[in-house]
């Protein structure tokens, strides 16, 4: 689901993206913005779920005047303070959750937030940027296999948001496996860049999703009475799944660190080997340079100036010096 397709659902500049009146059996009927203003709970287990664009004009005032949400809570639901949190306010549950941004061009660490408010009869979800998770639950409702009450809607949304993390974690692990199978001598700089990207993604996911673990625990612990026992169990399972995902992120991060350390160790070892060989070469040619420099001084009395065989004698001495140095270096185990 991309930004263009979801923005078309907001009709006549209303903040409504979609809304359904749940029938308690997994299905629901469509309801528009005008009907929402007059909607009241009917007989049975009907629940109204509306998904709003929170940065549309008038949403803040509508939450206070029509729904009766207190001003601080309405401000929280419509603000850009998107750190995951959850708390109970009377008979209402208020939460801010984060999910991975799967919109085109987004990076895994780019998170999108969703605010949730519910009093057991109405469920209001709000977002600024397009989210795929509400659309996933909406498709289930339209097929008659979705949640049947407010608690089920909340648990389905949280479970779907957390489950979608697994794909990003699997992708990162696959990238790490591919990097481990590659020849590290081919292009170490490119490999280091890819590993750094993976580490940045891991850190971003851990930083953003860590607080969500606390928020879900708050929902499970302090949810209102309409949040039933089976909903709490499902939230507990989602918490366990999120904990496993966070552990997987740590493993991916450590694998990336190990791979990066190995690359750097190999590069350092190669540089040290090259430096060592240059030192050996310099050690061999240093006495030769001294000898040839000494014989090349332009002063009188240099021996062999008029001797035609002097050059070959000097060459033989240089070869002997090289051989002697190689023997010494071998015995010292420098070669």
Indicate the average pLDDT of the chain. Answer: 82
Q: Token pair of 4, please?
A: 């263009």
Query: What is the domain count for the chain?
Result: 2
- Asked if pLDDT for residue 305 goes beyond 50, the answer is yes
Confidence of residue 4 (pLDDT cuts 50, 70, 90): very low
In terms of domains, do 139 and 63 share one? Answer: yes
In terms of domains, do 182 and 56 share one? Answer: yes
> What digits encode the pLDDT tens for the residues 210-237?
788 888 888 888 889 899 888 889 999 9
What mean pLDDT is predicted for residues 246-251?
A: 83
> What digits encode the pLDDT tens for the residues 123-154?
999 998 888 889 999 999 999 898 989 999 99
Range of the domain at 319: 276-299+307-331
Q: Token pair of 98, please?
A: 């984060």
Q: Select the more confidently predicted residue: 26 or 171.
A: 26
The pTM of this model reads 0.71
In terms of domains, do 169 and 292 share one? Answer: no
In the chain the beta strands, taken as DSSP E runs, fall at 16-22, 28-30, 47-53, 85-89, 92-100, 111-118, 122-127
- Asked if pLDDT for residue 243 goes beyond 90, the answer is no
In terms of domains, do 119 and 254 share one? Answer: yes
In terms of domains, do 96 and 202 share one? Answer: yes
90 dihedral zone (left: phi>0; alpha: psi -120 to 50; beta): left
In terms of domains, do 292 and 242 share one? Answer: no
Confidence of residue 185 (pLDDT cuts 50, 70, 90): low
- Asked if pLDDT for residue 48 goes beyond 90, the answer is yes
Q: Which of 265, 285, 317 is a domain's end point?
A: 265
In terms of domains, do 15 and 122 share one? Answer: yes
In terms of domains, do 237 and 147 share one? Answer: yes
Confidence of residue 2 (pLDDT cuts 50, 70, 90): very low
Residue 224 belongs to a domain with what CATH number?
3.30.460.20
Look at residue 271 and tell me if it is in a domain. no
Confidence of residue 8 (pLDDT cuts 50, 70, 90): very low
Look at residue 270 and tell me if it is in a domain. no
């Amino acid at each position: 689901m991309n930004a263009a397709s979801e923005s078309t659902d907001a009709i006549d500049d209303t903040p409504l993206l979609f809304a359904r009146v749940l029938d308690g059996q997994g299905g629901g009927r469509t309801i528009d913005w005008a009907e929402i203003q007059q909607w009241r709970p009917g007989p049975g287990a009907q629940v109204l779920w509306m998904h709003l664009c929170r940065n549309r004009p008038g949403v803040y005032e509508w939450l206070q005047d029509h729904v009766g949400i207190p001003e601080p809570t309405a401000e929280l639901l419509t603000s850009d303070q998107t750190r995951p949190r959850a708390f109970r306010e009377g008979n209402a549950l208020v939460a801010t959750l984060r999910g991975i941004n799967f919109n085109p061009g987004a990076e895994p660490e780019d998170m999108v937030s969703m605010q949730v408010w519910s009093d057991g009869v109405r469920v209001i979800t709000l977002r600024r940027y397009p989210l795929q998770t509400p659309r996933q639950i909406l498709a289930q409702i339209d097929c008659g296999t979705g949640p049947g009450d407010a608690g089920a809607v909340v648990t389905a949304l949280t479970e779907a948001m957390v489950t979608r993390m697994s794909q990003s974690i699997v992708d990162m692990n696959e990238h790490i496996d591919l990097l481990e199978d590659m020849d590290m001598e081919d292009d170490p700089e490119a490999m280091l860049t890819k590993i750094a990207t993976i580490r940045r993604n891991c850190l971003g996911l851990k930083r953003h999703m860590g607080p969500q673990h606390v928020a879900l625990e708050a929902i499970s612990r302090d949810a209102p009475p309409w949040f039933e026992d089976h909903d709490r169990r499902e939230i507990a399972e989602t918490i366990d799944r999120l904990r496993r995902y966070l552990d997987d992120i740590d493993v991916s991060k450590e694998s990336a660190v190990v791979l990066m350390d190995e690359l750097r160790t190999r590069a350092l070892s190669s540089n040290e080997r090259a430096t060592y060989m240059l030192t050996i070469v310099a050690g061999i040619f240093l006495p030769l340079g001294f000898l040839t420099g000494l014989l090349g001084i332009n002063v009188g009395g240099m021996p062999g100036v008029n001797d035609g065989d002097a050059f070959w004698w000097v060459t033989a001495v240089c070869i002997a010096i090289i051989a002697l140095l190689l023997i010494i270096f071998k015995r010292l185990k420098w070669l």
